[in-house]
Structure 1
Amino acid sequence: MKKYLLVVLLVTALSSPVLDGQEKYIQSPVTHVTVFRQGAQLSGDAVISVQPGTWDFVAGGLSPYIDPNSIQVRGEGDFMITGVAYRTNYLENPAESDAISTLRGKIKHLELKLEDEGTALEVLLERERFLKANYDVVANKSTITPEQFRALMELYGINMETVKNAILMKNRVIRSLKEEKGKLDQQLAGTLDRSKMPTGEIVVTVSGSKPANGRLKLSYVVMNAGWRPSYDIRVDDISDPAVIIYKADIWQSSGIEWKDVKISLSNAAPMTAGYLPKLNPWFVDFYQEYSLNEMVVTGYGTKARPARQEKSEEAVMMDLEASAPMPVTVTESNISFSFDINVPRTVSSGGKPETVELQRLTVPATYSYAVTPKLASMAYLMGYITDWDKYNLLPGESNIYFSNTFTGKGYINTAELTDTLPVSLGADNSITVKRDRRTDFTSQRLIGANRVETLSFLISVRNNKSKAVTVRLRDQMPLSQNSDITVEAAELSGGRHNSATGEVTWDLTIDPGRMKEVIFTYTVKYPKNRKVVLE
């Protein structure tokens, strides 16, 4: 029976491939990441030793979110790659991240402190019991005199008070340490739950005719990563150029930590397919921009779009000093470009953004004030950045600082296709604006079957600064979407009327302490048996 089993085992072993298809696990840590606006290409390499025959080299511990169509493998050495496959390993979890190790270290430190404090508390409690026992022995002696009893009470009271206070303080310290440890335990549990996921594996089949050493270079794309541009725009004075601090918020939820990797940020899209993409019809039309909130006369009312600029109600003084930008190289290729961060960085998985300063640009700018009294009685200082397209700016949120004061948040919209990029630098109370209805010139008249409404306004802008300023004043006339409604300008005081948007613009130069006024009048004619809601 034993001989039969031995023969069966030998036959089974001999029938199994010894040199072909054997798996060897290799380490291929991520060394470089190209982060796209949505998605990231991870690259790494591994050293291999190839023996004659066919071998499966398994690069494990990878992201479980790899797009299999994006996998690229290049071999360096005297061997041939005959196949590449991707699979998911549900049995092995990725290596413990630095964040988890740090949490475990903090918890261990708190546990040691709790042991120390607990031991100290036991000593104090034993001292308390000792004092009570000695007091009972001495106080119950029948030979004790009143003087001895008073001395005993005084000594007992002083020592007991000291011990009681020490016990109270120790209990408070222990309670605080337990609360802190409980929070860390919860954080660790949540982190471990997120880390309990399968890992990805790339299996590279290699064949060789003789022993050889070589290298495998792997790259693949994960889509749950990306970067968002953001900006700090700083202006000290309207006689100075603007400083644009170009930043990137890098995030990833790939399931593995990018540890000490070189990162490139690209505005291109990742190529995840190995086939030629197909061109679809591309339709083009005119671009129409509405710089004022559009008001359309419909016969029932008006509708305004919300303003895009967001302002803080109260300016906050901020420190102008900021950390130096990371060493970054900008690489351009036709219509795409990338920022190469030359210092390795670590980005944890979990979606928390890692902010990197890419560039600090000093750009020429012109400044003027803009007022829209129909919407706000404030004057806003505007900066106009020319030739902005050569700075590789992308659409993104911006923090605005003027004279070392945070004035609000904005949005850089590079899709507006203008030569000049406008930036609002905040409100200036030294420019006052009024928009008053001229009641004597506002009227309603019936002319035949129609009603004619005339609306007239006096707009005044005063410069309370010590130097002359340039102010762009904007208002608007309604637009008609009905042939029975006619809108006409009556008096514009030299303003420019855009018939497509209804916007009326005046460019004013106002000397120090002076005021300028414009008259703005328009008429609306519509059937008298209908209703039109105007301002």
Structure 2
Amino acid sequence: MKKNMITLLLLITFFNIYAADNKNEVQASLTAVTVYRSGAEMTHTVSATLVAGNNQVIIDNISNAIDSSSIQIKAPSSVTILGFEFSKNYLVNTTKTQRRQLLDDSLQTVQSHIDKLSLSINNAKELLDVLKANREIKGEQNGVSVSELEKLMDYYYSKSTELQNTIAALTEKKNKAIVLIDKIKDQIDEENKKNINTAGRLTLELNAAMPVKADFVVSYIARNAYWQPFYDMRADNIQLPLKIFYKAKIVQTTGIDWKHVKLSLSTATPSQKGNAPELQSWFLGYINRYQHNNLNSALAGSAAGIQIRGASNLSEVVVVGYGAEKKDDMAGNYVAPKPVYVVNGNVVSDDVFRQIDPNSIKSIDKLKPAAAKNMYGSVAEGGATVVQLKEGLQDYIAVTDKTLNVNFDIDIPFDVPTSGKEQTATLQIIDAGTAYEHIAVPKMDNDVYLIAKLQNWERLNLLPGEANIIIEGTYVGKTYINPEKTSDSLDITLGNDKRVVVNRKKLEDFSSVKFLGSNKLQKFTYEIVVRNNKKEAVNIIVKDQYPLSTNKDIEVELNETSGAVADKDNGTLAWQLQLGPNESKTLRFSYSVKYPKDKTINIY
């Protein structure tokens, strides 16, 4: 009796403690995501019914890998947030997903099949061992007839062959099953990468001034997400501007599928250092000469871009509606023709026109009857509404250039699964003002390279990344865009042009060796032939070099340059040529080196 009374008192105490608190378990709804170069800001909306006084709200369906210090909660003015706690919910996926269950079942089935094959192989091997062990002929008779011996040999041969073939066939099936097992395990590993074994949970301690249905906005930084830029560089020919397709690879394993969210991509990196460096006093002192400390510093230039013209030229889409010729009504009154609606040249009904998603419309222009009839004929006597529809994802993206970063806001619901797989989005299509030129350095490479020089590139907001090169519709390779530089133009190598040929050779007849007292004088002469086998003219820069000396006993003299621009600081020679179709030019340069004849120098 006493024990029951104690239990009752404990229950009463427990209920008294929590009777004043209202406990809600609610599911968060993901509405918007801003993806950074590293990490993503995820924004959820939550609704909960609160009573006056203290309340506890447990919010599920948030990411399981977040920066707790980044959590922000917006609540109604009548609700006070007393505190919150983030934790992981390990019971969210105690039941396997349908895909994982299917893979596990397949793994078990194949493994069972392998076990049966292994048993059959062992049985066949044991039979073969028995057959081999009984090859000796024994009996009371001293000999066996030839016919009996032949039968025994035929039986042994046929039976051993049968068993060996059986073992080989079973082993082949087993090996194929083992390969299938490895593939299933790899697929299970892919499923595990989705990071959906746990979920995040946020517990809010609240105080409400009155009963209310409260709407909350919860946002935080999730670590397991990022995006990377990459590009397609397309040149239809060197008379047209280079077209840059600015793309993004989006990856996330936050534990939550992003379904129909408003997605933004930001060039910012929230995890970067927040404070500018400060110089401290530098005091000199003695150091151990066997210890070495290296300090490395790097200067990063600013990135930028070219004038953005937007997506490829879109043909005008006309939306005008069902045409109706002039007519009289039953009473003989004049009835004005209705406006017509035409989509992509096809007449559509009013209902079809009204079903067009306003978010898909790029521009609208209404034409008066006279102008519409002049453009579209008598079907448009009642006027026309000209609508240009958006084409491609890039038309749904707004670019916002902020103080420290650039945002690409996608104005269309977007899906990114929590699978770790790359989702590709085209952010911009840019017509870049481009100057093309060829560069050849025949001393190091016999190929001639086509270079695209982008002017005003600092306004393009490019980020470092790989780029696919497509010339005249043909993929020619990859390059790397590095906008972190300070030069006036951004030079992009588009590949080597086999139709522009360069050849460099040493002219032995114009090279010589002489001895002048205690010195040796060597003269070197080289000839470079450049030929343009294209149907159009090309601009080409040819580069070479001559040696420099920092030793007073070694003297270098540049004798002939064929008009090259010589840089005496680094010993380079540069010829800027314009070659017409099928035109060739010959360049020649020579230099001499004088040095003590009893010395050897690195002149070759």
TM-score normalized by the length of structure 1 = 0.71
Distance 1:197 1:476, change over 3 A: farther
2-side partners of 1:360 and 1:95: how far apart? 46
Residue 13 to residue 84, structure 1, CA distance change in 2 (3 Å): closer
The structure 2 residue matched to 1:463, chosen from 522, 532, 555, is 532
Structure 2 match to 1:190: 189
Partner of residue 508, structure 1: 577
Query: 1:229 and 1:61 mapped to 2: Cα distance?
Result: 29
Is 1:281 the equivalent of 2:282? no
Is the CA contact (8 Å cut-off) linking 1:41 and 1:270 kept in structure 2? Answer: no
Q: 1:272 to 1:469 in 2, by over 3 A?
A: closer
The 5-angstrom pairing of residues 331-410 of structure 1 reads 331-410=400-479
For the residues of structure 2 that align with 1:185 and 1:334, how far apart are their CA atoms? 49
1:419 corresponds to 2:416: no
Q: Distance in 1 between matches of 2:550 and 2:71?
A: 55
Partner Cα separation in structure 1 for residue 79 and residue 38 of structure 2: 36
> Contact 1:77–1:215 at 8 Å: present in 2 too?
no
Displacement of 1:530 after TM fit? 5.5
Partners of 1:78 and 1:213 within 8 A in 2: no
Q: Which residue of 2 aligns with 1:475?
A: 544
Post-superposition offset of 1:528? 5.7
Is contact 1:70–1:272 with CA below 8 Å preserved after alignment?
no
Question: Which moves more between the two structures, 499-508 or 220-229?
Answer: 499-508
Task: Please give the alpha-carbon distance, in whole angstroms, between the structure 2 residues aligned to 1:193 and 1:15.
Answer: 44
Report which stretch shifted further, 444-453 or 413-422: 444-453
Ranges in structure 2 where 5+ consecutive residues have no aligned partner: 109-172, 280-295, 302-390
Contact 1:474–1:504, Cα closer than 8 Å, also in 2: yes
Partner residue, 2:215: 215
Against the structure 1 CA distance between its residues 345 and 478, is the aligned structure 2 distance closer, same or farther, given a 3 Å change threshold? Answer: farther
Q: Which residue is equivalent to 2:166?
A: none
Residue 481 of structure 1: how far off its partner (Å): 7.0
For structure 1, which segment, 465-474 or 486-495, has the greater mean C-alpha deviation from structure 2 after superposition?
486-495
Equivalent position of 2:205 in the other structure: 205
Distance 1:458 1:278 in 2: 57
Counterpart AA for 2:440 = V
Counterpart in the other structure of 1:131? none
Letter in 2 for 1:57: V
Partner in structure 2 of residue 61 of structure 1? 61
Equivalent position of 2:14 in the other structure: 13
Displacement, 1:268?
1.2
Counterpart amino acid of residue 360 in structure 1: I
User: How far apart are residue 181 of structure 1 and its match?
Assistant: 8.6
- Give the AA of the match of 2:228: R
Distance (Å, rounded) in 2 between the aligned partners of 1:406 and 1:464? 21
Give the direction of change, closer, same or farther, for the CA distance of 1:446–1:394 in structure 2 (3 Å limit): farther
Equivalent positions of 1:64-463 (< 5 A) are 64-89=64-89, 91-93=90-92, 101=98, 185-186=184-185, 189-191=188-190, 193-194=192-193, 195=195, 197-270=197-270, 277-281=274-278, 324-326=392-394, 327-443=396-512, 453-463=522-532
Measured in 1, the distance between the counterparts of 2:98 and 2:426 equals 28
Shift in alpha-carbon separation, 1:104–1:241, aligned structure 2, 3 A: farther
Paired with 1:369 and 1:214, the residues of 2 have a C-alpha distance of: 66
Q: 1:55 to 1:443 in 2, by over 3 A?
A: farther
1:17 is matched by which residue type in structure 2?
A: Y
Q: Show structure 1 runs of 5+ residues with no match.
A: 112-173, 289-322
In the alignment, the residues of structure 2 paired with residue 280 and residue 324 of structure 1 have an alpha-carbon distance, to the nearest angstrom, of 44
Alignment partners' CA distance in 1, 2:476 and 2:192: 42
Residue 564 of structure 2 aligns with which residue? 495
The answer on whether the counterparts of 2:191 and 2:419 sit within 8 Å (CA) in structure 1 is no
CA gap of 1:272–1:33, structure 2 versus 1, over 3 A, is farther
Offset at residue 13 of structure 1 (A)? 2.5
1:458 Cα deviation after fit: 0.9
Cα pair distance change 1:279/1:96, threshold 3 Å = farther
Distance 1:447 1:255 in 2: 81
SS in 1 for 2:189: helix
Distance in structure 2 (CA, Å) of the matches to 1:16 and 1:525: 100
Identity of aligned residues (%): 31
- Residue 102 of structure 1: how far off its partner (Å): 5.5
CA positional deviation for 1:61: 3.3
Q: Is the 8 A contact 2:539 2:578 kept in 1?
A: yes
Instruction: Provide the rounded CA distance (Å) in 1 between the counterparts of 2:436 and 2:518.
Output: 50
- State the 1:37 CA deviation: 1.1
- The worse-fitting range, judged by mean Cα deviation, of 242-251 and 327-336 is 327-336
1:227: how far off?
A: 1.1
Cα distance in 1, alignment partners of residues 569 and 468 from structure 2? 32
**Match of 1:415, SS?**
coil
Matched AA of 1:494: G
Contact 2:450 2:494 survives alignment (8 Å) = yes
Q: 1:530 to 1:59 in 2, by over 3 A?
A: farther
Residue number in structure 1 paired with 2:343: none
Structure 2: distance between partners of 1:78 and 1:530: 92
Cα gap change, 1:79 to 1:514, in 2 (>3 Å): same
C-alpha distance in structure 2 between counterparts of 1:443 and 1:423, whole Å: 41
Higher relative CO (Cα under 8 Å, sequence separation at least 6) belongs to 1
Query: What is the DSSP-based 3-state SS (H/G/I as helix, E as strand, rest coil) of the residue aligned with 1:68?
Result: strand
Counterpart Cα distance in 1 of 2:15 and 2:447: 89
Question: How much has 1:27 moved relative to structure 2?
Answer: 1.3
Structure 1 residues 448 and 412 mapped into 2: Cα distance closer, same or farther (>3 Å)? Answer: farther
**CA deviation profile, 1:21-72 (whole Å, cap 9, x unmatched):** x542221132211111112111111112111222232222332221111111
Aligned residue identity for 1:189: I
CA distance 1:452–1:31, change in 2 (3 Å): farther
Native 8 Å contact 2:56 2:205 kept in 1 = yes
Equivalent residue letter for 2:461: N
| Cα distance between partner residues in 2 of 1:46 and 1:366 | 54
Inter-CA distance 103–64: structure 2 relative to 1 (3 Å threshold):
closer
Is the partner of 2:254 in helix, strand or coil?
coil
Partner Cα separation in structure 2 for residue 402 and residue 268 of structure 1: 32
| Deviates further, 279-288 or 387-396 | 279-288
**Relative to 1, partners in 2 of residues 1:455 and 1:226: Cα closer, same or farther, differing over 3 Å?**
farther
Give how far 1:264 is off.
Answer: 0.8
Rounded to whole Å, the distance in 1 between the matches of 2:66 and 2:300 is 39
Distance 1:483 1:504 in 2: 23
Say if 1:3 and 1:463 are closer, same or farther in 2 by CA, change over 3 A: closer
Asked if the contact 2:103–2:184 (Cα under 8 Å) also holds between the matched residues in 1, the reply is no
For residue 36 of structure 2, what is the aligned residue in structure 1? 36
Distance 1:59 1:271, change over 3 A: farther
The separation in 2 between residues aligned to 1:287 and 1:481, in whole angstroms, is 32
Q: Measured at CA, do residues 348 and 522 of structure 1 come closer, stay the same or move farther in structure 2, by a change above 3 Å? A: farther
CA 1:423 to 1:189, structure 2 compared with 1: closer, same or farther past 3 Å?
A: closer
Go from structure 1 to structure 2 and tell me whether the alpha carbon gap of 1:38 and 1:16 turns closer, same or farther (over 3 Å shift): same
Query: CA offsets, 1:383-426, max 9 Å, x none?
Result: 22222222222111111111111111111111122232222232
Q: CA deviation at 1:262?
A: 2.0
* Equivalent AA in structure 2 for residue 279 of structure 1: A
Q: In structure 2, do the counterparts of structure 1 residues 95 and 518 end up closer, same or farther at CA, with 3 Å as the change threshold?
A: farther
Whether the aligned pair in 1 keeps the contact of 2:65 and 2:223 (CA below 8 Å) is: yes
